[in-house]
Structure 1
Amino acid sequence: MDKLVDLSSKSETNSPIRVTSSGNASRFNGVPDWVYEEEVFSSDYALWWSPDATKIAFLHLDETAVDEYTYPVYNPTEDAHTVVPYPNHVVMKYPKPGYNNPRVTVHVFQLDEYFDVMRDLGDDANSTEIAQGVTAELYWDGMYRLEDSIIAEVAWVSGDAFLVREVTRAAEDGNVVYFDFRNTFRNVGKVVRKLGKDGEQGDDGWIDPIQAIHPLPPSLAPDGQPAYLDIVPTSSGYNHIALFSPANFSTPRFLTFGDWEVTSGILAVDANRSLVYFQAANPSSTQRHIYAVPLPKLDGQKPEEVKALTDTSSPGYYDASFSPEGGFYLLSYEGPHAPWQRIIHVFDDKFDYVLTDNPQLNDTLAQYELPIVTHSTIESDGYELNVLEMRPPRMDDSGRTKYPVLFRVYGGPGSQMVDTRFSLDWHAYLVTELQYIVVVVDGRGTGFRGRTLRNPVKNNLGRWETVDQIYAAKLWAAKDYVDPKRIGIWGWSYGGFMSSKVVEADAGVHSLAMAVAPVTSWRLYDSIYTERYMNLPAENPDGYVTASISNVTGFHHADFLLAHGSGDDNVHFANSAHLLDMLTAEKVRGFRFRMFTDSDHSIYRRGANRELYEFMTEFLLEKWGKGGKRRSW
């Protein structure tokens, strides 16, 4: 970001205002580098307007010291027959665990002051010098060294006040810092909230990468002081809505509570009715419902009961998008049945505008037999885990027919695969056409069931998740309708890592595994994600060994399929190359491997996605055959 253009009605010029002059190929203003876009903001911008449009907060990212990663592009065209004698190469700054991160600082450009100064100095003023003169770099006591700092969130809570959330690379300590631009020392902030073991989290887990700060409308702010809502873990480890009023207050005042979690941040605040709208994994962690809760009117007032706006009497998965003042919202039903959307008027129960109810999809679904989906839980080492099972229609569960079982896994920290959303994909084909059973188990480390379930994987990625997957496979192997010789597992990305870890464990229950674009060594993945869960390699050297694929003896004992795109800029192909090297050294030869030329992490280039799924389907049919095997009595 080297230029800003003010288009408001009070603008005194239509010319661009150059705010910064420091940008180059390695230094960015207002836009994130690769790792911040991927792991922190999940967006392509790093600037934030104040609510009254008088100021802009932005990040300056300097990745000069970040090491480069290079990979080839063998064919830049969409024609697979094109011959390119000298491939191009992509060179990207990609920080890996223990190596240099981008150095990030926070700045604020004060547009209102810029216009004041320009008006005073007249036409002869140098606009660039003035803009830089009213741009402040921010500081605060207790700042982490730039080498150890992650700026995790920036949020305005009024036209003059905003917050910065800073955490360490290991995401074990952090602060929320308050800035008030009405003060004389406006660029010096005050730490108002402490995060981590000695702060709001209060345990040995990580600080969740949540960006949920939501300012209260001025009409609801007491005495005109800014206030805001945030998602904060309670003492029992569940993420809930907390009020901080005024905004420089340190103690959260919880609006919601219970053994369930708020999942989407704050959807809206209705200032007229003093209501806060949100989505929650309640009454079951596999569901999503929309709720409202009143803002407290008095200090010390106990939180009021939340009110469900969706039908919680039957399983459902809902999302909502509210109008700016909360008077209307688009309600999206996402499962378990066919999705639909309606517009709801909060003041008129009779208002019911159907945006879409998918009649053609419902007609089509009525013509086919679909998988029979059941939800349940199992207990592994005292932890209750969510399970989804997809069975073929009209399956013989008497025990006379033995069916193969394919476990689908992701399992990354804070993730969720077991939910009640509508889905028809490749797994539905396996179940209905090939007569396989597909099972999904969300093990330790996964999300929306509190920090007690998430925290065990800290510094131990892959250990307890593997234990849970193997335990679940043994439970299914003992079922009357399951063929214990045909139990497999497959996953993509973190799921590919999990599939590989299960093979490495060599527990004797999985006869087949498929890994797509897997991480095989956490020293090869990006720094911000990995260090959040594993700390830095120098602080956890043994953990990095045990969390990676380090012993491939078990690969002799399973039918293994490996696939990866050579142009993967996220989980680099180096991960699969590393695993292939270890398999070569161990003389493991009975596996199947495909490199998909120039495909990125999604594996789509030049028809690769369909080919990948057909490749895996043929592998399953070759190793297991089709359907259940009926035995004679």
Structure 2
Amino acid sequence: MKLRQILPVFCFLMTSLVFCQEKQITLQDIWSGKFRTEGMQALHSMKNGKQYSVLNFDRQSRTSTIDIYDYKTLEKVKTLVSSADIAEIRGFFDYSFNEDESKIILTTNSQPVFRRSTLGEYYIYDVATKDVTKVSDQLVQEPTLSPDGTKVAYGFENNLYVKDLKSGNVEQITTDGEKNKIINGITDWVYEEEFSFVRAFDWNADSNQIAYIKFDESEVPEFSMDVYGSDLYQTQHVFKYPKAGEANSKVSLQLYNVDDKSTIELSEDKPGDFYIPRLQWTNDANILSVQFMNRHQNELDLMLFDTKEKSMTNVLAEKDKAYIDVTFNLTFLEDNSFIWTSEKDGYNHIYHYSKDGKLINQVTKGNWEVTNYYGFNDKTNTIYYQSTENGSINRDVYAIKLNGKNKKRLTQKDGTNNASFSADFTYFINTFSSATTPQEYTLHQTKTGKLIKSIKDNDRLEQQLEAYVMSEKEFSTIAVNGNDLNMWTIKPADFDPNKTYPLLMYQYSGPGSQQVANRWNGTNDYWYQMLAQQGFIIVCIDGRGTGFKGADFKKVTQKELGKYEVEDQIEAAKQLGQLDYIDESRIGIWGWSYGGFMSSNALLKGNDVFKMAIAVAPVTSWRFYDTIYTERYMTTPQENPSGYDENSPINHVDKLKGDYLLIHGTGDDNVHVQNTMRMVEALIQADKQFEWMIYPDKNHGIYGGNTRLHLYKKMTNFIHRTLGDKL
């Protein structure tokens, strides 16, 4: 009698457990942030090397704090700043210290301009006195404290200003700034997008000189976008955008003397068009380093300007048959010798040069890539870096002596490791993830790499995901066109090799990029998991032109963007279609941005292989894209017309056979909706049927409100309709 009563309960518990482990991922789950990982926000190592600061936010009290923690114990030492104690502000969401950490810039309000640039409201917090000073009543750009903490420089309406924090006086140091004409100290659109920086000014070590770049974009053609908004009439956003082959901003290097309020131009006799992608003061307050590049970006000069003697020296000149990647790795040591990274031996490695540019030694060597440079410990003569020595899909942290000896691997887990070192290099906080482990933050001893203790993990997320049907992301290689290409595959959890499945291929494929990497899920990975449980196999392949396998592999696409990368995707799809469990009549491909360019080309040039393609925000002709990016890989359309036209999908619309979904945002300042409009017109004139979706006023990311959910519903339905008819 008792057994009969207990058995149904036991069966119910077992049924519930099985049911809980079979939850299906939904688009609502994905875009509600349900699977978001936890991290350490705005981590900063304090100068004493014993403590670090983190930005915390209490949602209940709506209070922001900068909290100080002890490396050794990981215990909270104190709260350095709390918005609850500052009457002038409600809260802040970012912060930065000056050189001696006596003052902090607090970001309290921010409005995006382009991808990296913002207009913001900022306050200066004095750590000793707890006084708070508002930088400006206007929304300004890139406020930067002088090293001695007495002044702050910032950009406003294309001009530069310096505020004295003692007197409150504001000095306008440029006056010729004008929208769509002259920009002082803040990069123009194309520098921001392609050279990855916004602040084009820098304080010297003595806080008495500011070097800055002036951009004269008067002759750069304008691009305009309608902004539809919610008013009766639309407005227009007009900005300077140099398309391939068109005029760039004319750049010049300026030097402002804080003491006598004078400005001089530091001229450099460079023939033709050139770029200034980096400027940085050395440890000597009178020596400024500047990097110059020619328009083709295959020649780079590192110049040192002596602002006292008004002289300049070219200390390093690099040339490449294709192009040179600009980095942020330049580091000047105490004796003004410097650390530099270069691909000149075929792989990206670390080099040590004397202050006059003579090579002292190549620090790292091998058929692998240095992927991050962390810093140099002058007390132990040790460099710390991240690399692909453990395989191109993995990242590990290493230490090596400046002379290239005694290399030591400091991380042990296979996956993606990224270190944040204490200021004195005694400790480092490692961020680790892999395809099977979400981000975990651990404290390590730098000397040995030994784990001290865990700081934060995402066990809660792992436990949450145990309730869902999840498939393994399988890593492998595929031999295509003479190369072993990295690949990952996601199959349905109940995969049966005796059945046939439709195949969806995802790729980005842009120069130097990587999508096949041993790291934790991005948002799209959950979408792929959802599609896998709905009966699709998802594959991603990094073809020729992608990164971290050497310069030759990466740069083979030079002057022919979209040729070899497309050939690789088509050939890979043919090979995969021969597998017994792949239905070769139901193969699709999708991508975003460069990936949309690729998926469009693959569908057109591989019309006997691909049944469908989705292209989100694609480039449809390289003639429509910007100078710096496009010409880096293609030179100009005047020099290379066939490279531009033979590989642009807009010129192959007559080949369309399969199903094509084209998606774009009208507010895309990066890849203009012009690309899609011209593609649409070409398809119409070729009498080709297709589907398309336009998102009003959405930028290149196509997000905001319900937008992402709507977009992914649209794509999911299209995939089911075009590939899933036999499911």
Place the TM-score, normalised by the shorter chain, in its bin. 0.7 to 0.9
1:407 counterpart = 2:554: no
- State the Cα distance separating 1:323 from its structure 2 match: 2.3
1:138 equivalent in structure 2? 266
1:20 equivalent in structure 2? 174
Distance 2:549 2:540 in 1: 16
Matched position secondary structure for 1:286: coil
1:121 equivalent in structure 2? none
Contact 2:411 2:449 in 1 (8 A): no
- State the Cα distance separating 1:384 from its structure 2 match: 2.7
Contact 1:503 1:554 in 2 (8 A): no
1:544 equivalent in structure 2? 644
Deviates more, 1:16-25 or 1:28-37: 16-25
Distance 1:16 1:351 in 2: 49
1:439 equivalent in structure 2? 539
- State the Cα distance separating 1:5 from its structure 2 match: 7.6
1:309 equivalent in structure 2? 410
**CA 480–350 in structure 1, closer or farther in 2 if over 3 Å, else same:** closer
- State the Cα distance separating 1:526 from its structure 2 match: 1.0
Matched position secondary structure for 1:139: coil
- State the Cα distance separating 1:606 from its structure 2 match: 4.3
Q: 1:477-488 alignment to 2 at 5 Å? A: 477-488=577-588
Which structure shows the higher strand fraction? 2
Cα deviation 1:552-587 (Å, max 9, x = unaligned): 445531111111011111100000001001101100
1:164 equivalent in structure 2? 290
- State the Cα distance separating 1:255 from its structure 2 match: 0.5
Q: Pick from 500, 511, 514 the counterpart of residue 416 of structure 1.
A: 514
Q: 1:49-68 alignment to 2 at 5 Å? A: 49-68=203-222
Contact 2:499 2:581 in 1 (8 A): yes
Contact 2:146 2:207 in 1 (8 A): no
1:291 counterpart = 2:398: yes
1:271 equivalent in structure 2? 378
Cα deviation 1:535-557 (Å, max 9, x = unaligned): 01111111111131243445531
Contact 2:442 2:453 in 1 (8 A): yes
Distance 2:700 2:653 in 1: 27
Matched position secondary structure for 2:461: helix
**CA 10–596 in structure 1, closer or farther in 2 if over 3 Å, else same:** closer
Contact 1:390 1:431 in 2 (8 A): no
Q: Pick from 144, 152, 157 the counterpart of residue 277 of structure 2.
A: 152
- State the Cα distance separating 1:318 from its structure 2 match: 0.9
Normalised to the residue count of structure 1, the TM-score between the two structures is 0.85
Matched position secondary structure for 2:219: coil
**CA 496–271 in structure 1, closer or farther in 2 if over 3 Å, else same:** same
Cα deviation 1:19-39 (Å, max 9, x = unaligned): 322222221111111111111
Cα deviation 1:444-486 (Å, max 9, x = unaligned): 1111111110111111100000001001101100111111111
Distance 1:543 1:463 in 2: 9
AA aligned to 1:429 is Q
1:122 equivalent in structure 2? none
1:300 equivalent in structure 2? none
Matched residues, number = 568
2:594 equivalent in structure 1? 494
Matched position secondary structure for 1:417: coil
Q: 1:171-250 alignment to 2 at 5 Å? A: 171-181=297-307, 184=309, 186=310, 188-197=311-320, 204-216=321-333, 218=334, 221=335, 226-235=336-345, 237-245=346-354, 247-250=355-358
- State the Cα distance separating 1:163 from its structure 2 match: 2.0
**Structure 2: unaligned runs, 5 residues or longer:** 1-140, 152-163
Matched position secondary structure for 2:170: coil
Cα deviation 1:346-365 (Å, max 9, x = unaligned): 35877724221112112112
**CA 73–363 in structure 1, closer or farther in 2 if over 3 Å, else same:** same
Contact 2:376 2:383 in 1 (8 A): yes
- State the Cα distance separating 1:431 from its structure 2 match: 4.0
- State the Cα distance separating 1:4 from its structure 2 match: 8.7
Matched position secondary structure for 2:528: helix
- State the Cα distance separating 1:191 from its structure 2 match: 1.7
- State the Cα distance separating 1:524 from its structure 2 match: 0.7
Q: 1:370-385 alignment to 2 at 5 Å? A: 370-385=470-485
Distance 1:514 1:374 in 2: 24
Distance 1:624 1:2 in 2: 48
Distance 1:258 1:267 in 2: 19
Distance 1:71 1:401 in 2: 49
AA aligned to 1:144 is P
Contact 2:504 2:537 in 1 (8 A): yes
Distance 1:554 1:409 in 2: 24
- State the Cα distance separating 1:49 from its structure 2 match: 2.4
**CA 605–88 in structure 1, closer or farther in 2 if over 3 Å, else same:** farther
1:328 equivalent in structure 2? 427
Normalised to the residue count of structure 2, the TM-score between the two structures is 0.75
Contact 2:654 2:686 in 1 (8 A): no
Contact 1:414 1:448 in 2 (8 A): yes
- State the Cα distance separating 1:603 from its structure 2 match: 0.7
Matched position secondary structure for 1:593: strand
How high is the sequence identity, in percent, across the aligned residues? 33
Matched position secondary structure for 2:706: helix
- State the Cα distance separating 1:101 from its structure 2 match: 0.6
**Structure 1: unaligned runs, 5 residues or longer:** 76-81, 115-129, 198-203, 297-302
- State the Cα distance separating 1:423 from its structure 2 match: 0.4
CA RMSD in angstroms comes to: 2.3
**CA 526–249 in structure 1, closer or farther in 2 if over 3 Å, else same:** same
Contact 1:6 1:17 in 2 (8 A): no
